[in-house]
Structure 1
Amino acid sequence: MSTPFTAAANAYGNISRLVSDQASGKSPLQQAEAPGADFGQLLADQLQNVVEAGKVSDQASMDLVNGKASVVDVVTALAETESTMETMVTVRDRVISAYEEIMRMPI
């Protein structure tokens, strides 16, 4: 049984809204009463890290084209971006797997 496409699209939409709200200073998340990290905030921060890594690798690529950077700098930036993307994909897969498992639980 696989997750419907619309459920995945809705999840991505929610994360996108979360990141844009966080960037604009709005906080749709309520702070947790218990001490510890807020999972939604953690995801938003990590997604922002992916976006920033992508921007860094784009800038490094443009610098290479303009002769301002070396190939090593570009390869390093791309490897860092790939690593952060793989981490986010792994987290996404685990969240979807947990969601599917919860949905299979009898009520």
Structure 2
Amino acid sequence: MIQSLAALTSVTDTNAVFGAADLGLTTPGIRQAAPAGPASNFGDLLTQIAGQMRDTVKTGEAAAISGIQGKTSTQAVVEAVMSAEQTLQTAVAIRDKVVAAYLEIVRMAI
């Protein structure tokens, strides 16, 4: 789980977890690339984040397969798998928050 913005600096690809530039966040010491285009609404933002998460997990899977075949170094495999694991944990945390918010809304008196 990401405790602070400083935790993003330990990730090799800062856009792999959240797309920090898309959220308007800056990380100290890391040069941000220009965003492809701002999200016009919250749904678009979530779609972009989900796509980035999917790509990170696919990269981790591909690195693991490549490592099994002996084409990739162990360090590269571990980095890709750890990034994919962190992305998956972030996705689960976001899902849990969305479900909790929905349940709270459902319980509200009208």
TM over 0.5: yes
1:50 aligns with 2:48: no
Structure 2 residue runs without a partner (length 5+): 1-38
Aligned length: 72
- Alpha-carbon contact 1:56-1:77 (below 8 Å) kept: yes
Q: State the identity as a percent.
A: 36
Structure 1 consecutive aligned stretches of length 4 or more whose deviation exceeds 2 Å? none
Distance in 1 of aligned mates of 2:92 and 2:61? 20
Alpha-carbon deviation of 1:68? 1.4
Distance in 2 of aligned mates of 1:49 and 1:83? 13
Trace 1:82-97 onto structure 2 (pairs within 5 A): 82-97=85-100
- Alpha-carbon contact 2:57-2:87 (below 8 Å) kept: no
Bigger fraction of residues in helix: 1
| RMSD, aligned α-carbons | 1.5
- Alpha-carbon contact 2:63-2:80 (below 8 Å) kept: yes
1:62 aligns with 2:75: no
State TM-score, norm by structure 2.
Answer: 0.60
